[in-house]
Amino acid sequence: LALLLLFTHALSKALLSMSIGGVIASTNCQDITELGGLGSRMPATTTAFLVGGSGLVGFLPLGGFLAMAQSIELLSVRSVPYMAVFLLTNALTALGLVRVFRHVFMGSSLIKSRRAAEVNWQMALPMVALTVIVLITPLMLLRLESLEGLLAFPLWVSGLVVASGLLGLVAGALLPLSKAWSRSLNPVVRWWQDLLAYDFYTERFYRLTIVNVVAAFSRLAYWFDRTVVDGLLNGVARFSLSSADSLKLSVSGQSQSYVLTVLVAIVLFLTSVSWFLT
């Protein structure tokens, strides 16, 4: 069941990401309050957004509905509060997607979207292909499991899934939509808007904690490598060069000196070995 839910969710989410990427590539804008009227200018991207959003919130007869219905049936037995959270999340997802669709694809064209056109075929071809895959996902699931197994849930479960999606759809369609009022002047409301818009500041928290710790450790490792390791190696190299220069100046060129040096070295070596063995 978990794999089924992840599979259907991943396909729909990927299609949504591709459609949003097409909008960004065509308009060079990521502020939805500056967009509008793209439905007639970008039909393939609009269709991809509709199909991806429908699959994400479990509208009939897409594969997301089957996965959500089975999940609701399981949660109704295991944990009713989790089931309520599941349905509420589905309704809020539908509400948010409808409002984004109204902002971006409906209404009149604004400055950023007035000259927008459909994306090139390198982006449109995989997007259309994934749209078809999301649409035929129920047929793909039938090859893996029988129809009786996929539909093995009560009728009231289907009603809950459909009702949660329709509730979000209707709420998103009826709530007033004003691009000028998207950012509230009330500081409390604005704080909540920013909290939700920035995903509870997860990215900022991650950057201030884990990223900073890793960066500090990297700087420490860099300093240790440049100062300690390289300093030690450079010191050994300078000592070797100075020793070589000193030996070069102290060499007399007479064979007796070389023989005497070798004998002294051998005596010292044998003395140290005998002392170590005893």
Greater confidence, 44 or 185?
44
- The reported pTM is 0.67
- pLDDT for 149: 60
Place of tokens 């000259």: 115
Whole-angstrom distance, CA of residue 127 vs CA of residue 144: 25
Percent of the chain at pLDDT > 90 equals: 19
Q: What is the mean pLDDT of residues 7-26?
A: 90
Percent of the chain at pLDDT > 70 equals: 91
Q: What is the mean pLDDT of residues 158-166?
A: 86
Whole-angstrom distance, CA of residue 109 vs CA of residue 26: 14
Give residue 2's pLDDT band: very low, low, confident or very high (50, 70, 90). confident
Whole-angstrom distance, CA of residue 4 vs CA of residue 149: 13
**DSSP class per residue in 178-227:** -GGGSS-SSHHHHHHHHHHHTGGGHHHHHIIIIIHHHHHHHHHHHHHIII
- pLDDT for 127: 93
Q: What is the mean pLDDT of residues 133-160?
A: 76
- pLDDT for 77: 82
